[in-house]
Each structure stands twice: as structure tokens, then as C-alpha cells.
Amino acid sequence: MLSRSARSSLSTARQLSQSQLRRASPNSREPLKASVAGMIFKLAFYGSVAYGVGATVALNYEPFQEYFFQIPYGEESMDGLEYAWKHRQQIYNFDYSNFFEEKKSNLVDEYNSKTETLGLDSYISIPKEGVRAVPIKEETNKEVKDAKKDIQQEKKEQFIVLNEATKTPTHTLPTISIKSDDPELTSIVASLNKVIVSINNNSVSMKTEKIIDSITSSLSNVDEKYQKLITSKAADLNELKNAELAKLERVFADKTVILTKEMTEKLEEQKLFIQQKYAERMGHELDETKKTLALEAQNVILNAKNDMIDSLTAHVSQIISNERDGKLKDLDALSSRISKVESLELELSKTAASFQTYKQIKKSVSKLQYLLSSNESSATRGTDIVSEINNLKQLTAPLDNELINATLASFPSDKELLTSGGVLTQSQLISRWALLAPELRSVSLLPENAGILGYLSSAIFSKFLLKKNGIPHATEDKLIGNDVESVIARVNTYLQKNQLDNAVEEVSSLKGATDRLSQDWLQESRKKLELQFLVELLDAEIQITA
């Protein structure tokens, strides 16, 4: 029995022999010379070079950034280039050989572990065209034998045996040596060299060297074109930079002129402001100095005056003491009499002031009585009453009389008097009562829980009631002397005689709907009676205290 590795080697050799025969057959097609990997590598390389050039131009020429950002991954490539340029020293000092050696060692260890797990001792590459069966003719037996020899020779060149015992390289690839000032291109070359070194560790064919030569030639051409592009772009950038610098210098010159002018104007304004403030401050200080000097002069004059008065007083006292036994022996008696006269004069002045105050208070009280009893209607009655009450409060404040203060505090508030216009006159109360009397007659005839018909009938029948005059006497009978018509007659008589208190008492005796109807008239009448009573109380107290 053959082992698994032997069987896999025989099957692979059989497939390779068939593939070799197909290539030797005249009917087989020629393989494409172009490599997909090479094309991808070229596209990646040229794309990275183009992105690197664009990012470099965008970093050095700001207007180009807007166009470069519209390209896919333009902004990312510019950020990456800027980051690499800022950290170029770290990238340059990075140990790439050690990094790639570690990666290679990890890959080899992983691959060997997988092959051991699967039981594979070697790895054989399969052609890209695939494996297919081709019938072999008798006339090609000789060619088959020759092909087998070629297969054995190609096995040594194409098979990559991963076993350490058969890992001897057949050929070593040369490294790429290109001198360039561009750090990115130098980095690419270094990366390729490391890849070549890693490839040299395995068995490769001679064809790989031609590929490396083409890569070297392409890199040289790219470097030459790149250097020309950098030179032309640098010249354009220098020209643009010089133009922008000249433009900025002109703008800065104009700005300098404008700013100088503005600063000059501001300095002039500040100068005027400081001069004005200094003048105001000097004027204020001069005024304060003048006031201080005037006060000092006044103090000096007062001191001199006091000194002169003191000296004069001393001189007069000396003269009086000398003349006391002569002409001025009765001076003490005269001085006591003068003191009595002065005290009497003070009492008389207080009495006169008190009399004047009481006179003004009496005058104000009389005016209040006139306003309350007058029948002349006036739009300023409420204002006049409020002003007189406030005047009385000011005049009676020095008296400190509790009764007067309590009486003045009992008056309605100023707001209430001003809102209601003061009090109604006697004629206004009579006219309002005359308007209220027919309604009282009509309401007095209403039955309980009256409806519309009841109101209508009471209004009609009230016209037929016999009106009474004079003062009908009230009796214990509710129907004799206590009816609404008798109350109306008595109120009319009392109002004509100016007996408002009796009229209010009669109206207060009404009950039911007539009482509710007469509440407004009663309120106005009671307010007038209250004010009259308070004014009469003030008048009596003032007469007593005077």
C-alpha cells in the first residue's frame, strides 16, 4: 500500500505530464503573457503614486483641496500623507525587516501546523489552465517520454517544498536599487526589496528576474516623471505663492493705511475725551476748593466774631459790675420782670397759634357741612369732600385728640368717595324717591311666586291706588297706617321737611320685595346721614376743646 503523500505525488505528476503534453500539442492555445497580478500591482502602484502626488499638491496649494476632496478617498489619502509626513522620523526608524520576519515566521508556522494536521508533506502548485484529460496517440509516445524528462526538470524549478530538508533556493533575486528624494517612493522600493528578500528564502524560477527588471524600469520611469511633475508643480506653486504674497502685501498695505487712519481718529477722540474729562475734573476740584476756602473763611470770621463777642461780653460784664452799685442797682428786679413778660408773651403766642388753628379747623368743618347740606349739584363734590377731610386730618394732627382722630378715621375712604361722587343732595334724594315710589306701589301688589301675568296686573292696578298725603299714623293693624302708600306719604313729608333720618327709618320698615327695591336709596341716604353725624361730632368736639 502506498502512503497518502506518495499517492498525492503520483497524481500530481500525472496531471503535470498531461498539462505538458497539452502545451506540446499543436492544437493547444498559447497562454496569455500578461499577468493579472502584474496588472493589479501596476494599477495599485500608479494609483498610489497619483494619490500621493495629488495629496502633496493639495497640502501645499489650498485651492486645489476642494477639487481633490471630490475624488473618492481623496481626503483620506491627504490625511494619511500628512500623518506620515509628521511622523516620518518614526516611520524611517521603524524596523521593517524584523516586522516582516515575524510575519513570515508566523505564516510558516501556521502553514506547517495545518499541513501536519491534514497529513500533507508538500505543496504542489496547480497550473492556471486547470487539469483536464487529453487522449494520447501512439505517434506521441516518444514525445511523452521526452516530456517526462522535462517534467522532472521543471519539478525542481516550480515545486516549492515546504519541508525544511528540501527548502534549498535555486536562484536569488536581485534587490531594487533606485535613488530618489521622494520618501514615499523610497519606502515602496524598500518594501519591494523586503518582499524580494522574503521570496529569495524559497525556490523560484528564472522568469521572476525578468519581472523584477521590468518593475525596476517602471519604477525608474515613474520616479523620473514624478520628479518632473514635482519640479513643475513646485515652480507653479512658487509663482502662485509669489503672486499671493504680492497680493497680500497690497492688501496689508491698504489695511495698514485704513487701520492707521482709524487708530488716528480713535486717538483724537480719546484725546478730546480725556481733555473734556480733565477739564470737568479740574472745574469740579476748583469748585470744591472754592467751597472749602469759603467755609474756612467763614469759620475764621465766626471765630473772630465769637472772640469779639466774648471780649465785649467780658468788657460789658466788667462795666456792669462796676456800675452795679450805682445806676444799675435795680437791674435784677428789671431782669425778673422782663422774664415774666417773656413767659407771658410765649403763652399769648401759643394761644394765638391755637386760636388760629381752631379757626382754620372750624372753617374746614363749616365747609364740609355746607357741602353735605347744599342742594347744588356739582361734578367736583366728591373731590371737594376728600380734600376737606384730608385738610382736617392735617390741621388736627398737632392737637392729638383721640376723639377727633377716631372720628376722622371713621370717614369713608378717599377711593369710595371719589368713585361715588361724594354724597347726593337733598333734591337728588327726593327725585330718586319720586322715581322709586311708583315701583314700590307696583311691587307691593305682587303675590307670592308671581309670574309674568302677576307683574302685568300689579303694574296696572297700582295706577288705581289712592295716594295719601301728610303723615298717616301707624297702628297695630298692618293694613292701617303700615301699608306701602302710608310709608310713601310719610317719607315724602319727611323729605320735604329735610328730616332725612325719619325718612330712612320709614323706608327701613319695608319688607319683602319693596325692601330689596329700596336698598340703593337707603345706602345713599345712610351714607349722607353718617357723614353729617361725623361732621357734627367734629364740630361739637372742636367747640369744647377751643
Task: Please give the chain's pLDDT, 546 residues, in tens.
Answer: 334 444 444 454 455 445 544 554 444 444 445 578 878 888 888 888 888 888 888 878 777 877 777 888 778 887 888 888 877 777 777 777 777 877 887 887 777 777 666 655 444 444 545 445 455 444 445 554 565 555 555 444 444 443 443 444 456 667 777 776 766 667 777 767 766 776 776 645 555 566 666 667 767 777 777 788 888 888 888 888 888 888 888 888 888 889 998 899 989 998 899 989 888 889 889 989 988 988 888 888 888 888 888 888 888 877 777 766 555 556 666 677 777 777 766 666 566 556 667 777 788 788 887 777 777 777 777 788 888 888 888 887 777 778 878 888 888 877 777 776 677 887 888 888 888 877 777 665 554 555 555 455 555 545 545 455 556 555 555 544 566 777 778 888 888 888 888 888 888 887 777 778 788 888 888 888 888 888 888 888 877 776
Q: Note whether 512 and 465 are within 8 A (CB).
A: no
Per the domain annotation, does 368 fall within a domain?
yes
Structural domains of the chain, count:
2
**Number of alpha helices (DSSP H) and beta strands (DSSP E) in the chain:** 19, 0
Q: Which of the listed residues 210, 226, 242 is the one where a domain comes to its end?
A: 226
Q: Which residues of 435-464 are buried (b: 16+ CB within 10 A; e: fewer)?
A: ebbeebbbbbbbeeeeeeeeeeebbeebee
Q: Could you give phi then psi for residue 160, rounded to 5 degrees?
A: -110, 105
Amino acid letter, 544: I
Question: Can you give the pLDDT at residue 221?
Answer: 73
Per the domain annotation, does 296 fall within a domain?
no
Per the domain annotation, does 49 fall within a domain?
yes
**Using H for helix, E for strand and C for coil, what is the string for 104-132?**
HHHHHHHHHHHHHHHCCCCECCCCCCCCC
Locate 76 and state its grid cell: 483620506
Query: Could you list the residue range(s) of the whole structural domain that residue 403 is in?
Result: 355-546
Q: Where are the alpha helices (DSSP H) in 34-182?
A: 36-60, 63-69, 74-86, 88-92, 96-118, 141-158
Per the domain annotation, does 397 fall within a domain?
yes
Same domain, 361 and 508: yes
Q: pLDDT tens digits, residue range 365-423?
A: 888 877 777 777 777 777 888 888 888 888 877 777 788 788 888 888 777 777 766 77
Q: How far apart are CA 367 and CA 384, in angstroms?
A: 9
Q: Note whether 4 and 119 are within 8 A (CB).
A: yes
Per the domain annotation, does 376 fall within a domain?
yes
Same domain, 169 and 24: yes
pTM: 0.34
Q: Which of the listed residues 226, 243, 275 is the one where a domain comes to its end?
A: 226
Calculated CA dihedral for residues 103, 104, 107, 109, nearest 10 degrees: -110
Q: Which of the listed residues 196, 226, 256 is the one where a domain comes to its end?
A: 226
Check residue 32 and report its DSSP letter: P
Per the domain annotation, does 282 fall within a domain?
no
Locate 336 and state its grid cell: 425778673
Per the domain annotation, does 215 fall within a domain?
yes
Per the domain annotation, does 70 fall within a domain?
yes
Find all residues with CB under 8 Å of 494, minimum gap 6, and list them: 500, 502, 503, 506
Q: What is the Cβ-side half-sphere exposure of residue 455, based on CA atoms within 13 angstroms?
A: 5
Question: Can you give the pLDDT at residue 13?
Answer: 47
The angle subtended at Cα 160 by Cα 156 and Cα 166, nearest 5°, is 75
Q: How far apart are CA 304 and CA 312, in angstroms?
A: 12
